[in-house]
Amino acid sequence: MRSLILAGVIVLLILTVLLMLSCGSAGVSTRSVSGIVADNASQSAVSGATVSAQGQQTTTASDGSFALTNLLQNPVVLTVNASGYQSLVTSVPAPAASQSIGELFLVPVHTAGTGTVTGTVEIEGAPVAAASLSAGLAQALTNAQGAFTLYNVTPGVQTLTVTSADHSDTSTATVTVLADQTVSAGIIQLTGGPPPPPPL
């Protein structure tokens, strides 16, 4: 009789351990997070950027893409570093087993004594994507919403030259750039035809 009770207890213990192991493995779900690292001014891919999270690290490919796998915590806190750019730390939700988070934009390192210019490019009230802007040596492209940011612009009165992606529409705008500050050029409306000649 004792042997039967002992055998029953052993079987019960084995079943309990197996159940605990099963629950433990089912409760741990890993995630993978992928995305693209891009320059906030030029909207172009940043290759060679380091992306890390939860002790893992990877480097972006030539198209700016990256992927981290076997991540446990949710949300996932990503740290992105690249030469010439400010570090980016961002928390992203990763509810699914595989999550694409789209683009992460890096801001160029600020050069002391220069300014930043923001604004929006439109044509007939609609935002213009991929329009190119320049102010001296600073260059940028508008994003899908027509917004742009020019970094490290020389202080003083600057003329912004704007050209649509197909070079069919152009415009210029004047803005006073302040050292170590951000100023807005507002909404710049594109008009058809070649750009005006430079001032004499």
The neighbour count for residue 71, using CB atoms within 10 Å, is: 21
Phi/psi at 15 (nearest 5 deg)?
-65, -40
How confident is the prediction along the chain (200 residues), in pLDDT tens digits per residue? 555 555 554 545 554 444 443 443 445 578 899 999 999 999 999 999 999 999 999 999 999 999 999 998 888 999 999 999 999 999 988 777 888 999 999 999 999 999 999 999 999 999 999 999 999 999 999 999 999 999 999 999 999 999 999 999 999 999 999 999 999 999 999 986 555 555 55
Query: What pTM value is reported for the model?
Result: 0.78
Whether 115-192 and 31-106 are alike in CATH topology: the answer is yes
Domain boundaries, the chain: 31-106, 115-192
Q: Which CATH superfamily is domain 115-192 in?
A: Immunoglobulins (2.60.40.10)
Phi, psi of 114 (to 5 degrees): -105, 170
Task: Render 4-44 in DSSP notation, one character per residue.
Answer: HHHHHHHHHHHHHHHHHHHHHHHH---EEEEEEEEETTT--
**Which helix (H) or strand (E) element contains residue 184?**
strand 182-189
Q: Could you give phi then psi for residue 52, rounded to 5 degrees? A: -135, 155
By DSSP bridging, strand 191-192 and strand 132-135 are unpaired
Could you tell me which CATH number the domain at 31-106 has? 2.60.40.1120
Helix (H, G, I), strand (E, B) or coil at 23: helix
Return the structure tokens found at 156. Answer: 């003083």
Q: Please provide the distance, in angstroms rounded to a whole number, between the alpha carbons at the two ends of the chain.
A: 110
